[in-house]
Structure 1
Amino acid sequence: MTKHSKKTNIGIRHFRAALALAQEQSFTRAADSLGIVPSALTETIKQLEADCGLRLFNREARPVTPTEAGEEFLAGARRVLSDFEMALDDLRRVGGIERGAVRVAAAPSVVLFHLAPALRAFHAAHPAIEVTVYDDIAERIGALVLDRVVDFGLAERWHETDQLDYEPFHVDPFVLVCHRDHKLAGRAEVDLAEIPVADVIALDESTGIGKRIAAAPEIPPEFRRGSIRTRGTIAQLTLISQGMGVALMPKLAASVIQSPEIRHVGLRDLSLKRTLCILTRSRRGLSPAAERLLACLRPLGSLASP
Structure 2
Amino acid sequence: MKLTIDSISAFVSLVHFGNYQTAAASLKVTQPALTRRIQRLEDALGAQLIDRRYRGVSLTALGTNYLPIAIRTVHDFNRSNQQIKDLVSARTGTVKVAMNMTIATTILPNILKTFSELHPNVSVKITEGSGPNVVEKVLSGEVEFGIAPCPTSVERIDFEKCYSDPFMLVAHRDHELHIQPTVTWQCLEKYSFIKMRPESGTRRLLEKGLDDLGVHLTGQYEVGHLPALLSLVGHNLGVSAVPDLSSTAIHNLPIISRKINGPAICRSIGILTSQDSSLSPAALALKTIAKNVLESQKF
Matches within 5 A, 1:17-32: none
Compared with structure 1, are the counterparts of its residues 303 and 160 closer, same or farther at alpha carbon in structure 2 (3 Å cutoff)?
farther
Letter in 2 for 1:158: P
The answer for the alignment partner of 1:95 in structure 2 is: 86
Compared with structure 1, are the counterparts of its residues 158 and 265 closer, same or farther at alpha carbon in structure 2 (3 Å cutoff)?
same
Compared with structure 1, are the counterparts of its residues 196 and 153 closer, same or farther at alpha carbon in structure 2 (3 Å cutoff)?
same
The CA deviation at 1:136 is: 1.6
The answer for the alignment partner of 1:289 in structure 2 is: 282
The one of 129, 139, 142 aligned to 1:146: 139
The CA deviation at 1:186 is: 2.8
Compared with structure 1, are the counterparts of its residues 301 and 193 closer, same or farther at alpha carbon in structure 2 (3 Å cutoff)?
same
In 1: Cα distance, 2:214 partner to 2:223 partner:
18
In 1: Cα distance, 2:83 partner to 2:138 partner:
22
The CA deviation at 1:299 is: 1.7
Q: How many residues align?
A: 212
Contact kept, 8 Å, 2:189 with 2:217, in 1: the verdict is no
Is residue 194 from structure 1 mapped to residue 187 from structure 2 by the alignment?
yes
In 2: Cα distance, 1:255 partner to 1:132 partner:
24
The answer for the alignment partner of 1:58 in structure 2 is: none
Letter in 1 for 2:244: K
The CA deviation at 1:170 is: 0.6
Compared with structure 1, are the counterparts of its residues 298 and 93 closer, same or farther at alpha carbon in structure 2 (3 Å cutoff)?
farther
Root mean square deviation, CA, Å: 2.3
The answer for the alignment partner of 1:230 in structure 2 is: 223
In 1: Cα distance, 2:176 partner to 2:225 partner:
25
The CA deviation at 1:197 is: 4.6
The answer for the alignment partner of 2:246 in structure 1 is: 253
Is residue 104 from structure 1 mapped to residue 97 from structure 2 by the alignment?
yes
SS in 1 for 2:169: strand
Query: Tell me, which stretches of 5 or more residues in structure 1 are unaligned?
Result: 1-90
The answer for the alignment partner of 2:255 in structure 1 is: 262
The CA deviation at 1:287 is: 0.9
Please say which of residues 186-195 and 278-287 is displaced more in the overlay. 186-195
Is residue 123 from structure 1 mapped to residue 123 from structure 2 by the alignment?
no
SS in 1 for 2:269: strand
Matches within 5 A, 1:36-75: none
SS in 2 for 1:185: helix
In 2: Cα distance, 1:219 partner to 1:105 partner:
36
Q: Could you list the per-position Cα deviations for residues 61-101 of structure 1 after superposition, in whole angstroms to 9, with x for gaps in the alignment?
A: xxxxxxxxxxxxxxxxxxxxxxxxxxxxxx96532444311
The answer for the alignment partner of 1:69 in structure 2 is: none
Contact kept, 8 Å, 1:234 with 1:257, in 2: the verdict is no
Contact kept, 8 Å, 1:204 with 1:231, in 2: the verdict is yes
In 2: Cα distance, 1:125 partner to 1:103 partner:
17
The answer for the alignment partner of 1:23 in structure 2 is: none
The answer for the alignment partner of 1:301 in structure 2 is: 294
Query: Tell me, which stretches of 5 or more residues in structure 2 are unaligned?
Result: 1-81
* Greater Cα radius of gyration, structure 1 or 2: 2
Compared with structure 1, are the counterparts of its residues 269 and 256 closer, same or farther at alpha carbon in structure 2 (3 Å cutoff)?
same
SS in 2 for 1:239: helix
The one of 230, 241, 244 aligned to 2:237: 244
The CA deviation at 1:196 is: 5.4
Query: Percent same amino acid at aligned positions?
Result: 24
